[in-house]
Amino acid sequence: MFLCGDAGPLAVGAVVHHKLNNTADSKDCLSRLLQLQRSVLSPDSEMPDELLYGRAGYLYALLYINKEIGANTVDESTITKVVTAIVESGKTMSADQKKTERCPLLYEWHKKQYIGAAHGLAGIYYTLMQPEAKVPADILSELVRPSIDYVRHKKFRSGNFPSSLSNESDRLVHWCHGAPGVVHMLIMAHKIFKEEKYLKEAAECAEVIWHRGLLRKGYGICHGTAGNGYTFLTLYKITKDKKYLYRACRFAEWCLDYGTHGCRIPDRPYSLFEGMAGAIHYLSEIASPETSCFPAFEL
C-alpha cells in the first residue's frame, strides 16, 4: 500500500506540505491517509498484509509520517490497531495451514506464501520489527522470532531463498524474491534480538548476491542490480567491513553503464522501484555510505 496504493502518495504529500509550511494541505493528506483505516482494519477486507499493496505498507506509511513530521502525529493507538490487524491476520493464516507451532505468523498473496520483501514474509516481519511500531516484546519473541527462524530454515545451500514456501527453484536473486530482500529482515532481527546467527546468515546471503546479483532484468530496486547493491551498503553500515563497500561500488559501476548490458526495458522505465530512478538513488547513496538507507524500506 505504501509503494502501490494511495497510502504512499498521501504520506509523502503530508510530509512535503509540512516541510513547505503548507499546514492545511499537510493535514488534508494526513486525514485522507487515516481514512484508509476502514479497509485496513476490517477482518472481512480482502486487503493483503504485504508491503507493496497491503497492511505492512500502510503501517510503514504511518511510521514514516511520525518520523518526518514528529512523534505522535499519528497517535499510538492507531498504530497499535494496524499492528494488531497484521498480527491477527498472520495467526489466522497460520492456524488455517496448521503451522501455528512452526510459523506462528503466516501470510499469503495471490494464494502463495511468498518469502521475499515485496509480497512476502520478509517484508512483513521487517516492518513489525521497526522499533517505532512498538510491537510488544512478547509478540516479537513468541510470534515474530520463531516465524523468522522458520523462514531461515528454507534457505538453499547456495545461500539464496526461494520465492515462496512451496517453490523449490533456486533461481531468483531479487529484492522482491530471493536473498536480497531477506537480508534486511535478518539484519533487523540481529538488531532486535541481539543474536549473531542473523548477522551471519545475512553475510551468507551477501555472498550469493555478489556472485549472482548483476541482473539483466534491469537496474532498478525491486528486481534489479540497484536493489541488490543495497545489501552491501546495509551490511557495511552494520559491520564497517570495507569489503561490502567495495562490492557496493562495483554494483554501482554496473549501473553507471546503463543501457549497455542488454537488460530489458521495465514497464515503468523511470520509476524508483522498477527503473532508472532506482539506479540513480542507489548511485547517490554510494557517495555517503555511512548514512545511506534503503529507500522506502528503512526508518
Does the annotation place 103 within a ligand binding site? no
Does the annotation place 4 within a ligand binding site? no
3-state secondary structure 114-178: ECCCCCCHHHHHHHHCCHHHCCCHHHHHHHHHHHHHHHHCCCCCCCCCCCECCCCCCCCCCCCCC
Annotated binding residues for Zn(2+), as ranges? 176, 222-223
Annotated binding residues, as ranges? 176, 222-223
